[in-house]
Amino acid sequence: MPLVLCGMPLGNPGDITPRVLDNLRCAEVIAAEDTRSAALFLQTHGLKKKLLSFYDHNERERVPQILELLRAGKTVAVMSEAGMPLISDPGYHLVKAAQEANVPVTVVPGPTALTAALALSGLPTDRFIFEGFLPAKAAARQEALRDLRGAARTLIFYEAPHRIQETLRDMAAILPGRLCFVARELTKKYQEYFRGTAQAIAAQLEKPKGEFVIVLAGRPGAAPEDAEVSRAQELCAALKKARLSDKQSAEIVAKVFQLSRNQAKKIIYS
């Protein structure tokens, strides 16, 4: 029997789809990111099911157990606390293992916070990059942001309330002057939207609560990324002919194209 990935509402229970409810009703076991909220949700819809806790820190341990259930003919549904499983939520290792074991996997789509926030942002939607959660440590987070300085596409991030202000301030310092949109608690009773610069929004969030989505404008006036990489490679070739070291070449390429050292090194060695 199949493994079913069930898209859950972000916060408003009215966003549940009939197909998701049908699949949860048919499932014999439900792997839930939060068993307490899952039990309450199922109770609301008159369902009582066997629940397995299934979150980031126990996913790998659960994979053999769930595969065994599937091989025994059980239908197992996966539900996140909110939104689509696997999108900054557990499930990747399970789906990968199921596919490698030739176990059928199906999906019943549902909302994702990243597309909801993107649609509301007023920023370009034709091409975007979803980065999920940035690193928690400041140095790693800042380096990750420097890696994105040359990206022309709209950037989307998730962030926790205790880090939102630090993240926005890092964005203001490393990616200055860009239009920013922040959504808090999407679809819930106290949802809020903020538009402006990252620095200005950080100042408005005095006591941040809830889950946040950050949508940030791409590099202003940037050329298409493939064309930019091509030009950077041409510059690298010219610098090599001038007998500059790889380190010197990387420094020049990073400065000219506003790239991080890691990005410049990748172009040098490509």
For the chain, domain boundaries:
3-108, 113-216, 225-269
Please answer whether residues 37 and 83 qualify as being in contact, where contact means their C-beta atoms are separated by less than 8 angstroms. Answer: no
Residues with Cβ within 8 Å of 253's Cβ and at least 6 positions away in sequence, in order, are 232, 235, 236, 239, 259, 264, 267, 268
Q: Evaluate if residue 223 carries a pLDDT over 60.
A: no
Residues with Cβ within 8 Å of 91's Cβ and at least 6 positions away in sequence, in order, are 5, 54, 59, 78, 80, 85
113-216 — its CATH code? 3.30.950.10
Helix axis angle for 246-257 and 225-241, nearest 10°, is 140
| Assigned token pair, 172 | 């203001």
Other C-beta atoms closer than 10 Å to the C-beta of 59 total 19
Other C-beta atoms closer than 10 Å to the C-beta of 193 total 14
pLDDT digits (tens, 9 = 90+) for 70-114: 999 999 999 999 999 999 999 999 999 999 999 999 999 999 999
Q: Do domains 3-108 and 113-216 have the same CATH topology?
A: no
Residues with Cβ within 8 Å of 229's Cβ and at least 6 positions away in sequence, in order, are 267
Burial of 23 (0-12, 13-18, 19+ CB in 10 A): buried
DSSP state for residue 13 in the 8-state scheme: G
pLDDT digits (tens, 9 = 90+) for 178-216: 999 999 999 999 999 999 999 999 999 988 999 999 999
Candidate from 6-15, 85-94, 237-246 with smallest mean pLDDT:
237-246
pLDDT band at residue 227 using 50, 70 and 90 as cut-offs: low
How high is the pLDDT of residue 224? Answer: 43
pLDDT band at residue 228 using 50, 70 and 90 as cut-offs: low
| Closest CA relative to residue 56, chosen from 87, 5, 91 | 91
| Assigned token pair, 196 | 């402006």
| Model pTM above 0.85 | no
Give CA–CA dist 90/231, Å, rounded.
39
Report which listed range, 197-201, 223-227, 253-257, is most confident. Answer: 197-201
Architecture, CATH, for domain 3-108: 3-Layer(aba) Sandwich (3.40)
How high is the pLDDT of residue 226? Answer: 61
| Assigned token pair, 227 | 């064309």
Tell me the HSE value of 225 on the side-chain side, using a 13 A CA sphere: 15
Candidate from 159-173, 212-226, 237-251 with smallest mean pLDDT:
212-226
